[in-house]
Amino acid sequence: MTNAVLGGAGLAAFLALCEAVPRLGIVSADFFPPTSRIADAIVAELGDEAFWTALGDTLTGWALGLAIAVTAGILAGVVVSVVPYLRQATASTIEFLRPIPSVALIPLAVLLFGTELRSVLLLVVYASFWQILIQTLYGVQDVDPVAEETARSYGLGTWARVRHVLWPTALPYVMTGVRLAASVALILAVTAELVIGAPGLGSRIAVAQTSGAVPEMYALVVVTGLLGLLINVGARTVERRALAWHQSVRGEVAV
């Protein structure tokens, strides 16, 4: 309760500061509108059907891209870790591709798919995939060798060892990767819409900026921030439920 009160007080102070700065003339209200004007613009956006369509487009690109990245990242991570010598054979390739910024692929996405949803998916999947893959690799490497040998000695097959030994150990790492990838996927989805012009909130932000609708632009930025907050809270909730048996979550609940 104390943390919630302090957090609310900090947010209220920040909003009051954003209201006062332009009204005191420290910053021109033409470029940084007061909080009240931004709030009015948010209410107006909520009443616009085109806003909800753009929000749906953004969430579609985010959800599809994240689902593809999670599936591909987990499968690739498990296969690379389980197949002998494959981890060593792919290490240099992974380390070469992983640092490439996703935004550097924007020209390629435009050339291949134009402003379609597939351009957004290309960037979202590429950025999110590495979060899942690396965490899965770390999780599999953390498997206790004694537990692995014990499972072999009891005659468990490959699938049974993956299910009962490898997966419970790797799951906390995988859930961390999913939580990170969820935020990264939203960032890339909005970035792709903003730069490429694909339908979504990013495209509406670009249109508002070029047309001089400054309060509306800030309102859309605030909406994307709130969307990111909701996604992060949702990812943490899913993580806690999926790891309810794990010591880290049980200890957190106990505290």
- List pLDDT tens digits, range 163-209: 888 888 889 999 999 999 999 999 999 999 999 988 999 999 999 99
Q: Which two tokens stand for residue 9?
A: 């007080």
DSSP 14: H
**Cβ neighbours of residue 110 under 8 Å, at least 6 residues apart?**
119, 196
Residue 254 has what pLDDT?
A: 46
Inter-residue contact 151 to 165 (CB < 8 Å): yes
- pLDDT band of residue 162 (cuts 50, 70, 90) is confident
Q: What is the total residue count of the chain?
A: 255
The sign of the CA dihedral 80, 77, 92, 68 is positive
The stretch 135-159 carries a mean pLDDT of: 83
Residue 63 has what pLDDT?
A: 95
Per-residue pLDDT at 154 exceeds 90: no
Give the best-scoring range by mean pLDDT among 7-16, 56-65, 133-142, 148-157: 56-65
What is the pLDDT of the chain when averaged over all its residues? 88
Residue 201 has what pLDDT?
A: 93
Residue 4 has what pLDDT?
A: 75
| Higher pLDDT among residues 243 and 120, named by residue | 120
* pTM tops 0.85: yes
Q: Which two tokens stand for residue 200?
A: 């979504």
- Where on the phi/psi map is residue 102: left (φ > 0), alpha (ψ -120 to 50), or beta? alpha
Count other Cβ atoms within 10 Å, centred on residue 191. Answer: 18
| Higher pLDDT among residues 101 and 253, named by residue | 101
The stretch 28-47 carries a mean pLDDT of: 90
First-to-last alpha carbon distance for the chain, in angstroms, is 14
One-letter amino acid identity for 42? I
Residue 248 has what pLDDT?
A: 63
- Where on the phi/psi map is residue 84: left (φ > 0), alpha (ψ -120 to 50), or beta? beta
CA angle (234 as vertex; 38, 74 as ends), nearest 5: 125
